[in-house]
Chain A
C-alpha cells in the first residue's frame, strides 16, 4: 500500500475548525465538505490538491471538535495519508475509522518540505522524501488498527469480521 504525492505542510495544533470550519457543517457529504477543506488556513488547498497528496503536520494535529467531517473532507479532497509529529486522540481514531492512514514521525514531519514530493508505505510504516531520497520510519500502530486501514475503514472491517463469523 504505497502512495506518492505532493506534500502539504501544516504547523502545530491545527484544530478541526481550521480543517473544516463549523459554518460548512450543515452538510455531511464528503465531496461537499472537501470544497471547504483548510479554507481559512490555505485557501488554495481545495483548488490545488490532487489525489494521492500527503498532509504533513506538527504536534497535536486535528485537536478540538470530534467532527469526523475533518478527515472526510481531507480524504475526499484527495489526501491519501497524514504524516504528523502527533495527532489529537479523536482525530487519530476518526482517520483510521474512515480509512485515512496516519503515520506519526517527528523526523519526517520536520524534514518534509511543503510542495515537495513524498511516498508513504502504510503497511511498512515508512515515509520517503522523494526529493532527498531520505527514508523515515513511523511509530508502529496497533495491529488491529492496521487491519482497519487494510480493510479500508471501520465499517468494512466490521463487515469482514461479521462475514467470517467472528
Chain B
C-alpha cells in the first residue's frame, strides 16, 4: 500500500513493512532532546524509573537555551542538574555556554539530525527537523525521561494534510509568510494530531533556513509533525556535517492524504500574526499603523544566518527609530561568528540595535527583553499568546525578518517597501 514520507519513516522505526493513519505503534528513537526547562523534569523521571544508564549516550542531546546565561539562581540550579547528569552519563551532546545556542538551530547545524531520522524532544518546536525530511515531534518530560531509559516510545500514526505551494515567492516574502498564511487558513487547532506535508514548486525553491522556519511552526496548527521531502537542497545542507548519510524517503504518488490544500504564492505579501494567536494573520497592507516599543530578531524560527543577512541588508546605513529597542539574537555561536565576519553585527550595532548571546531570549518571556504593561513588540519568533513575552497586557506581533528590519527602522509595523 502507498505511504507518505511520514508513514515510511515511522514504519522503518517500528520494524514494520507498513503503517497507516490511526495505528498505535512502538518506535525506536534516533535522538532524544531536552532543554534547561524540560530536562530537569525528564531526568527526575529517568531516576524514578530506576534507570542507571541512558539508552545510548550518543543519541541524547541536552541543550541549555531557554534561560541561559542563567538568569537567576533557580535557573542556574536547573542547568547544573543537567550538566551533572550529562557528565555522569558521559553525554557528548551537552552544550555548555560558548557552544550552546537555540536547540533547534544547533542540532541540524551540528549534523545531529539527518533525513529519515526519528527525533523526539521535550520541546514543542522539535517539529523543526521535518525540514530535513526527518520525523520529529515534541513530547513532555515524562515521555522523554522514559525514552532516555529505553530508547523507545509509542506513537499514534498521524493522518496527513498535504500543502501544495504554487508559484514563487516575491521579494521579502518567504517561509515565514507561507507558514503564517497557512496558519491563518488552518487555525491553531486545524491540524491537531496530524502531519503537515509541505510540497510544491514554491517550497522546492526555498533554502533550508526558510524550510526550518515552516516546519518549526507546524505545531502552531496543533500538528504532530511538519515535513518536507528531502531533495538536493537538503542533501547539500547535510554535506560534511555528519559521518552518517541519512535516508531519503519520498511520499508515494498515490499516498493517502486527509486533505490537500493548494496555496498560490505569487501575489502573497508579507504576513503578520496579530495578538494573541499565531493564526490571527493578515497581509501587512491590511494593518493600520501599529507603533512599536520593541523588535526582536531571533529564535528557533528566524535566528539563522540567512535571517540576519536579510534584515541587515535592509538596515545597512539606516538608524533604528527613536524609542525602539531592537534586539538581535543569533541562533548559535557559529551564526554569531559568521555574522561578525560578514559585518552584519556591525550593521545592527551601528543602527542602534543590541546583540544578545545565542539563546531563546525574550521569545518565551524568560529574559533579555521582557515587555512591560501595554507595550507592543514585533517578533520573528513563533508565538504571540497572552503574556508570552512579558506582561499579560503586552502585545506581540509575528512576522518575517525583513518586516522586523523595516519595523525597527520606521518604529511601526512596516513592509520592507516602506523603506
- Hey, which bits of chain A sit against chain B, CB under 8 A? 13, 15, 17-18, 21-23, 25-28, 40-41, 59-60, 63-69, 71-72, 86, 88-90, 93-94, 97-98, 142, 144, 153-155, 158-159
Q: State whether B224 touches A89 (Cβ < 8 A).
A: yes
Q: State whether B48 touches A155 (Cβ < 8 A).
A: yes
B404 within 8 A of A: no
Q: State whether B142 touches A97 (Cβ < 8 A).
A: yes
Q: State whether B366 touches A22 (Cβ < 8 A).
A: yes
Q: State whether A93 touches B139 (Cβ < 8 A).
A: yes
Can you list, as one digit per residue, whether each of B139-166 has a CB less than 8 Å from chain A (1) or not (0)? 1111101100000001000000000000
Q: How far is the CB of A103 from chain B (nearest CB, A)?
A: 17
B74 within 8 A of A: yes
B365 within 8 A of A: yes
Tell me the nearest residue of chain B to A21, going by C-beta: B387
For chain B, residues 165 to 215, give those with C-beta under 8 angstroms from any C-beta of chain A: 188-189, 192-193
- Complex CA gap A127/B376 in Å reads 42
| Interface pairs (8), CB distance under 8 Å | A23-B370, A40-B386, A41-B386, A59-B189, A63-B188, A66-B138, A142-B24, A153-B142
Tell me the nearest residue of chain A to B366, going by C-beta: A22
Q: How far is the CB of A165 from chain B (nearest CB, A)?
A: 15
Q: How far is the CB of A144 from chain B (nearest CB, A)?
A: 8
- Hey, which bits of chain B sit against chain A, CB under 8 A? 24, 37-38, 40-41, 44-45, 48-50, 66-67, 71-72, 74-75, 78, 121-124, 126, 138-143, 145-146, 154, 188-189, 192-193, 222, 224, 277, 364-366, 370, 383, 385-388, 392
Q: State whether B143 touches A89 (Cβ < 8 A).
A: no
- Complex CA gap A72/B392 in Å reads 22
Q: State whether B146 touches A158 (Cβ < 8 A).
A: yes
Query: Which of A88, A98, A142, A153 contacts B222 (CB under 8 A)?
Result: A88
Q: State whether A13 touches B188 (Cβ < 8 A).
A: yes
Q: State whether B41 touches A63 (Cβ < 8 A).
A: no
Q: Which residues of B contact A60 (CB under 8 A)?
A: 188-189, 192, 222
Q: State whether B142 touches A68 (Cβ < 8 A).
A: yes
Q: Which residues of B contact A71 (CB under 8 A)?
A: 140
Q: How far is the CB of A25 from chain B (nearest CB, A)?
A: 5
Q: How far is the CB of B106 from chain A (nearest CB, A)?
A: 18
Tell me the nearest residue of chain B to A59, going by C-beta: B189
Q: State whether A68 touches B224 (Cβ < 8 A).
A: no
Query: Which of A13, A28, A97, A142 contacts B44 (CB under 8 A)?
Result: A28
Q: State whether B222 touches A18 (Cβ < 8 A).
A: no
Q: How far is the CB of A160 from chain B (nearest CB, A)?
A: 12
- Complex CA gap A68/B364 in Å reads 15
- Complex CA gap A158/B388 in Å reads 35
Q: How far is the CB of B1 from chain A (nearest CB, A)?
A: 23
Q: State whether A154 touches B40 (Cβ < 8 A).
A: no
Q: State whether B123 touches A66 (Cβ < 8 A).
A: yes
Q: How far is the CB of A148 from chain B (nearest CB, A)?
A: 10
Q: State whether B67 touches A17 (Cβ < 8 A).
A: no
Most buried by A among B45, B124, B143, B370: B124
Q: Which residues of A contact B193 (CB under 8 A)?
A: 89
Query: Which of B146, B192, B385 contacts A155 (CB under 8 A)?
Result: B146
Q: How far is the CB of A69 from chain B (nearest CB, A)?
A: 7
Q: How far is the CB of B359 from chain A (nearest CB, A)?
A: 13
Q: Which residues of A contact B392 (CB under 8 A)?
A: 40
Q: State whether B387 touches A18 (Cβ < 8 A).
A: yes
Q: Which residues of B contact A154 (CB under 8 A)?
A: 142-143, 146
Query: Which of A23, A66, A153 contacts B38 (CB under 8 A)?
Result: A66
Q: State whether B386 touches A97 (Cβ < 8 A).
A: no
Q: State whether A67 touches B37 (Cβ < 8 A).
A: yes
Tell me the nearest residue of chain A to B221, going by C-beta: A63
Q: Which residues of A contact B41 (CB under 8 A)?
A: 28, 68-69, 72
Query: Which of B45, B74, B140, B387 contacts A27 (CB under 8 A)?
Result: B74
Q: How far is the CB of A134 from chain B (nearest CB, A)?
A: 26
Q: How far is the CB of A62 from chain B (nearest CB, A)?
A: 10
Asked if A40 meets B143 with Cβ closer than 8 Å, knowing A26-B78, A63-B189, A86-B192, the reply is no
Q: State whether A155 touches B45 (Cβ < 8 A).
A: yes
- Complex CA gap A153/B385 in Å reads 29
Q: How far is the CB of B59 from chain A (nearest CB, A)?
A: 19
Tell me the nearest residue of chain A to B390, going by C-beta: A23
Q: State whether B38 touches A17 (Cβ < 8 A).
A: no
Tell me the nearest residue of chain B to A95, going by C-beta: B140
Q: How far is the CB of A23 from chain B (nearest CB, A)?
A: 6
- Complex CA gap A98/B42 in Å reads 12
- Complex CA gap A71/B140 in Å reads 10
- Complex CA gap A88/B140 in Å reads 12
Q: State whether A21 touches B365 (Cβ < 8 A).
A: yes
Asked if A66 meets B385 with Cβ closer than 8 Å, knowing A13-B189, A26-B71, A60-B188, the reply is no
Q: State whether B365 touches A18 (Cβ < 8 A).
A: no
